[in-house]
Amino acid sequence: MQDNEVLCRTVGCRYYAEILAGAVNATINPCDDFEAYACSNWAPFAQPYSYGTASMSSAMAAWYESFRKIFLDGSPREHFVRKVDAAFSSCMLTSPEDSRRGISDLKSFMRQLRISWPDAPLEKVDPLGVLLDLSLNWRLDIWFSAALRRCPYGCAPSDGGRHILFDPTSFFIVRENKQRDLSALKSYMTYWNRFSNAFLAPGYPERSEEYINRIAMIERSVFNRFILVGKKVAVQPVQFELGSIRYLTPNIPESRWIDQLNSHVNRFGEFRRNDRVTVWDRELLYAVNEMFVNYTRVELLEHISWIFVQNFGPLADRELLLPQHGDKRAAAEYRHIFCATQVEIAYQRLFTSTYAKDHFTTRTRNGIDALLASVAQSAADKIFSVTWADEASKQALVDRVRNVTVELWPGSEFLSDESIHRFEQLFFADENNLFAQQWIWAMKTWRRLRDSATHNDTIESPRNYALPYFRYTHVLNSVSIALAAFSRPWYYADGTKAMAYGTVGFSFARELARSFDPFTVPVDLLGQATLFQPAATWTTGSRRRAACLNPFHSTPFPEIPALEFAYQAYKDSIAIKNDSERRVSSSISDEQLFFLSACFAMCNLPETMQSYRLHCNKAVSNFAPFARAFGCQDDAKMSPHKKCSYLDCTSATISTNL
């Protein structure tokens, strides 16, 4: 293409063209190894961004880098801007006197949480209750991330009930390298004393080296165990009644779980044995049980308190980041990330509301909703079109896909100017207060709101400071999407359809495919499917399709069906409007751009978590339109004669009689 006039010249297109120029490795033939062509030039990201795929990590990095600009330069709300600026500035800069006052306020808040440090743990405090309280009431995850929902239809007795969802927390993965560095310290006691000097009153006796080393040993043991959980590849969600949790935590009987839940969580009434529990994988609760076997009540409380102090001590004293990061330069660089994260944690509901209201016009929100709906419609159409399943099986899956809900925008009650103003009045304390004081005030305010009848059923907004940004939840049949996913390099409102469907469209399709993946449906404690199970004919057909991938892959999910959905939606969107949109690059066609964008979402980095890892070559090498787009010859590595499609059935794909 010679005519530069046909190139898209919007800000988004120009930015994406720069990404393409830097990311694509032109020395590699895309028909030989498309993943290397699209991914090998991506440089590893620094912590805390490094555990996602290339697009996920780069979006998270962009979110942090632009955080202050987003909420200060991008909002027309002068009062909000002033308050955020004061909170952020207070976090970034603290004097020694401010630190002493902030530590005092933080210790007072810790006592409310039944966390005592450096004093001995309080009597009659159950560490299980502390962990549940931190996660369910305060969104402060230590060992796991827990969420409480009203039980959807079909998962509980007719009189209603609660559903508790347990997931691994990204905390262990984010801190893995840092923890490795701390464990390698010649004297962990020196590290400990940096915190104890900040928290201890003058004259308080110091802990012995033996005591400190024991706490360090417990910390390493806990980290190593939960990191193994987070890195697990073959994950199987498990669902059961709360009364049966003893089968996964035999040393923590159901009566103890129920007592602690009722003691700390006030929403939705008392917990009962027939309330439902869904666990990301039973290995998560196995790990929790092991910790309660290996350590005493006092040791666990000391460990939890020490983790809390390391995580949140810098709220009051920014110098406490120094021992965690080794030198002043690294600590100063991380301070921005720390403050952005803590500001969002404290003001999450207000932030998501103002960000959605101020940065996404009604037209833009409608456009994003239409994009997601078109991918869901393409998924339904693809399922209906297969020839290897009966009509009843296909209809059941189509219904499942069409009933998937999307958790993205705050509810309309949170998007009005009146509600945003009301939240501003509630959440922001005196802007002259210390950041630790403002953070505690906001956290307590949200806790009071969550416990009120008006807001106790409010769905938490997906977190922008933690991956994944796209996530399917089986029990809710919903896909949650963080607003940060609609920032560069994922989404550009002024970009092209190839960009939008290749990035956001494919990422949504990937999670949509999980809704009917017969290989990862939640099971009960006996291994039987719960809630939803594709019909036997569909499962049998899926196994035949999966057999085609042997010995390289065990399942087509989620990459192959996701690419089929997103590509069809992209083609339909162009056909409907007879679109001849401008290209982003003179050397890359729109179709090629779509496949490159989808592959960016699958590019694995050195530290990408196993559960986030995807296989770009698996998707494109089994998809005939890819070979046509890049002109791959028959029997090229990325264009084998026999393509293992999942829903597409053409002469170029596998036989339905495998």
Domains of the chain: 4-53+360-410+462-630 (3.40.390.10), 123-315 (1.10.1380.10)
Whole-angstrom distance, CA of residue 461 vs CA of residue 482:
7
Contacts of 243 (CB under 8 A, 6+ apart): 254, 273, 274
C-alpha dist (Å) from residue 544 to 549, 614, 652, 655 = 9, 21, 17, 10
Residue 615 tokens, joined: 């296989």
Q: Can you give the pLDDT at residue 457?
A: 60
Contacts of 572 (CB under 8 A, 6+ apart): 374, 378
Cβ neighbours, 10 Å, residue 411: 11
CA 294 to chain centre: 30
Cβ neighbours, 10 Å, residue 287: 21
Q: Can you give the pLDDT at residue 523?
A: 81
Q: Can you give the pLDDT at residue 158?
A: 43
Query: What pTM, to 2 d.p., does this model score?
Result: 0.91
CB 275 within 8 A of CB 163: yes
Whole-angstrom distance, CA of residue 614 vs CA of residue 509:
13
The helix/strand/coil state of 643 is strand
CB 486 within 8 A of CB 203: no
Helix (H) or strand (E) holding 108: helix 96-112
Whole-angstrom distance, CA of residue 344 vs CA of residue 336:
12
Phi, psi of 162 (to 5 degrees): -110, 160
Task: Give me the amino acid identity at 119.
Answer: D
| Residue 568: closest CA among 502, 638, 632, 639 | 502
Q: Which residues are registered as beta bridge partners of 240?
A: 277
Q: Which residues of the chain have pLDDT under 50?
A: 1-4, 153-154, 156-159, 650-658
Phi, psi of 144 (to 5 degrees): -150, 165
Half-sphere CA count of 235, side-chain side, radius 13 A = 23
Whole-angstrom distance, CA of residue 158 vs CA of residue 266:
21
Please report how the helices 536-547 and 391-402 are oriented relative to each other, as an axis angle in degrees rounded to 10. 90
DSSP3 helix / strand / coil % (the chain, rounded to 5): 55, 5, 40
Q: Can you give the pLDDT at residue 658?
A: 37
The helix/strand/coil state of 78 is helix
How are strands ordered across the β-sheet holding 470-473?
A: 405-407, 478-481, 470-473
Q: Can you give the pLDDT at residue 81?
A: 80
Q: Can you give the pLDDT at residue 549?
A: 86
| Residue 525: closest CA among 256, 255, 242 | 242
Phi, psi of 636 (to 5 degrees): -65, 160
Q: Which residues are registered as beta bridge partners of 407?
A: 480
Half-sphere CA count of 393, side-chain side, radius 13 A = 19
Burial class, 593, CB count within 10 angstroms (exposed 0-12 / middle 13-18 / buried 19+): buried
Half-sphere CA count of 358, side-chain side, radius 13 A = 20
Q: Can you give the pLDDT at residue 414?
A: 83
CB 234 within 8 A of CB 214: no
Q: In 333-385, where do the E strands start and end?
A: none
CB 253 within 8 A of CB 287: no
Q: Can you give the pLDDT at residue 554?
A: 85
Residue 156 tokens, joined: 């509980």
The predicted-structure confidence for 475-517, as pLDDT tens digits, reads as follows 888 999 999 999 877 889 999 999 999 999 999 999 999 998 8
Q: Can you give the pLDDT at residue 1?
A: 47
Phi, psi of 505 (to 5 degrees): -60, -45
| Residue 394: closest CA among 562, 558, 516, 544 | 516
Cβ neighbours, 10 Å, residue 181: 12
CB 32 within 8 A of CB 636: yes
Task: Give me the amino acid identity at 306.
Answer: W
